Amino acid sequence: MMIQKTRWLVLGILCVGVMRLDLRANEKSLKTWKAGLAKVVITPEQPIWMSGYARRNKPSEGKVHDLYAKALALEDPAGKRLVLVTTDLIGFSRSLAEQVAQGVRRRAGLARERLLLTSSHTHTGPVVRDSLITMYELNPQQVEVVSQYSAKLAEQLIGLVEQALEDVSTAKISYGTGQADFAVNRRAASPTGVKIGVNPEGPVDRSVPVLRIDDRHGNLRAVVMGYACHNTTLTGEFYQLSGDYSGFAQYALEQQYPGALALFVMGCGADANPNPRSTLELAERHGKALAKAVSHVLDRQLQTVQASLKTKLEFVKLPVVVPSREEFQTRLQDKDVYRQRHARRMLQLLDERGKIPATYSYPIQVCQLGRDLTLVALAGEVVVDYALRLRQELKVKTLWPIGYANDVFAYIPSVRILREGGYEALSSGIYYGMPGPFAEPVEELIISKVKDMASKVQGQ
Ligand SMILES: [Zn+2]
Q: Going by C-beta distance under 8 Å and a sequence separation of 6 or more, which residues neighbour residue 366?
A: 311, 312, 374, 375, 376, 377, 450, 453, 454, 457
- C-alpha of residue 54 to centroid of ligand 1, in Å: 12
Q: Amino acid identity of 252?
A: A
Q: What residues are neighbours of ligand 1 (ion), with CB under 5 Å?
A: 381
Looking at residue 24, what is its pLDDT? 46
- C-alpha of residue 228 to centroid of ligand 1, in Å: 11
Residues 203-214: what's their mean pLDDT? Answer: 98
- C-alpha of residue 431 to centroid of ligand 1, in Å: 11
Strand partners, 212: 174, 223
How far is residue 4's CA from residue 84's CA, in Å, rounded to a whole number? 61
Contact 257/223 with Cβ under 8 angstroms?
yes
- C-alpha of residue 128 to centroid of ligand 1, in Å: 14
- C-alpha of residue 123 to centroid of ligand 1, in Å: 8
Q: What is the largest CA-CA distance in the chain?
A: 108
Strand partners, 373: 369, 398
Looking at residue 21, what is its pLDDT? 45
Contact 87/118 with Cβ under 8 angstroms?
yes
Is residue 238 very low, low, confident or very high in pLDDT (cuts 50, 70, 90)? Answer: very high
pLDDT of 39 strictly over 50: yes
Domain range list for the chain: 32-309+364-412
- C-alpha of residue 309 to centroid of ligand 1, in Å: 31
How far is residue 251's CA from residue 261's CA, in Å, rounded to a whole number? 9
Residues 139-167: what's their mean pLDDT? Answer: 97
Looking at residue 132, what is its pLDDT? 81
Looking at residue 459, what is its pLDDT? 76
pLDDT of 351 strictly over 60: yes
- C-alpha of residue 391 to centroid of ligand 1, in Å: 22
Looking at residue 301, what is its pLDDT? 87
- C-alpha of residue 456 to centroid of ligand 1, in Å: 31
- C-alpha of residue 181 to centroid of ligand 1, in Å: 19
Kindly report, residue by residue over 27-38, the tens digit of the pLDDT: 444 589 999 999
- C-alpha of residue 80 to centroid of ligand 1, in Å: 33
pLDDT of 7 strictly over 70: no
- C-alpha of residue 199 to centroid of ligand 1, in Å: 17
- C-alpha of residue 27 to centroid of ligand 1, in Å: 46
- C-alpha of residue 53 to centroid of ligand 1, in Å: 9
Contact 382/408 with Cβ under 8 angstroms?
no
- C-alpha of residue 428 to centroid of ligand 1, in Å: 9
How far is residue 345's CA from residue 322's CA, in Å, rounded to a whole number? 13
Query: What is the percent of the chain where pLDDT is above 90?
Result: 90
Looking at residue 254, what is its pLDDT? 98
- C-alpha of residue 177 to centroid of ligand 1, in Å: 24
- C-alpha of residue 269 to centroid of ligand 1, in Å: 8
- C-alpha of residue 312 to centroid of ligand 1, in Å: 26
**How are the residues of the chain apportioned to helix, strand and coil, as percentages rounded to the nearest 5?**
35, 25, 35
- C-alpha of residue 209 to centroid of ligand 1, in Å: 21
Kindly report, residue by residue over 320-332, the tens digit of the pLDDT: 999 999 999 999 9
- C-alpha of residue 411 to centroid of ligand 1, in Å: 8
Kindly report, residue by residue over 444-459, the tens digit of the pLDDT: 999 999 999 999 998 7
> Which DSSP state fits 305?
P
- C-alpha of residue 243 to centroid of ligand 1, in Å: 14
Is residue 136 very low, low, confident or very high in pLDDT (cuts 50, 70, 90)? Answer: confident
pLDDT of 420 strictly over 60: yes
- C-alpha of residue 121 to centroid of ligand 1, in Å: 7
- C-alpha of residue 48 to centroid of ligand 1, in Å: 19
- C-alpha of residue 230 to centroid of ligand 1, in Å: 6
